[in-house]
Amino acid sequence: MTRSEPLRIGVLASRRGSNLQAIIDAIESGKLDCRLAVVVSDRADAQALERAKKHGAEAVFLDPKGYGTREAFDQAVLGVLADHRIELVCLAGYMRVLSPTFVRALPGQIMNIHPALLPAFPGLHAQRQALKHGVKISGATVHFVDEGVDTGPIICQAAVPVREDDTEETLSARILEQEHQLYPRAIRLYAEGRLSVVGRRVFVEEG
């Protein structure tokens, strides 16, 4: 599928933003034909906001304390995304669970990256969970977002072997390297119209 304009993406991020940076780098090096129009954060001190500005994207902080309910906050985020005519939302270290209202507003248009091989170890501290469980292989997953926590249809995954001397930090660092490859790749497949979802399965059309 050829588009007349690059896909307009918005990223939601709460902290460091290294996955956001990987997306920015892919765009700036011409590997990803997308327009990062806006980055929204629920934390004023998110490094992600600085990364967005440096790229020339709009950086918006919305303070959850200013909204009475999760739905009201999510409506505000949706408003910002609509103002920027966002076609795909990428969660990248966004520390809030989206309300059903949010998810239903953008069906099939929200992705997330998770530092484990889902459905293993959803939720917080996935790398710590993997070490504690004693798995020999963990990894990273990019998936579409549904109303559950890390439960949506899986787009792509990368495996990372667990070493005997791994700590949460060393395992996280090796998984993160894979995340930085995986997320831009998943976004590119989406932008090229090559993903289709049938039930829980995501099919990738050969390029």
Active site members = 114
Task: Give the residues lining the site for ligand GRF (CB under 6 A).
Answer: 13, 15-19, 92-93, 113-115, 176, 179
List Cβ neighbours of 84 (8 Å cut-off, separation of 6 or more): 8, 10, 37, 38, 58
- DSSP letters along 71-129, please? HHHHHHHHHHHHHTT-SEEEESS--SPPPHHHHHHSTT-EEEEESS-TTSS-SS-HHHH
Hey, what are 1's tokens? 């599928």
- In angstroms, what is the minimal distance from the CB of 190 to ligand GRF? 17
Nearest distance, CB of residue 52 and ligand GRF, angstroms = 12
Q: Are 121 and 151 within 8 A, CB to CB?
A: no
What whole-number distance in Å separates Cα of residue 39 and Cα of residue 47? 11
Hey, what are 98's tokens?
């989206």
For ligand GRF, the closer of residues 109 and 172 by Cβ is: 172
Closer residue to ligand GRF, CB minimum distance, 78 or 142? 142
Cβ contact 44:63 at 8 Å: yes
Give the number of other Cβ atoms within 10 Å of residue 101's Cβ: 15
The rounded distance, in Å, linking the Cα atoms of 129 and 143 is: 19
Q: Which is nearer to ligand GRF, 87 or 179 (CB)?
A: 179
Give the nearest distance from C-beta 19 to ligand GRF in angstroms.
Answer: 3
Min separation Cβ 101 and ligand GRF, Å: 21
Q: Which is nearer to ligand GRF, 86 or 118 (CB)?
A: 118
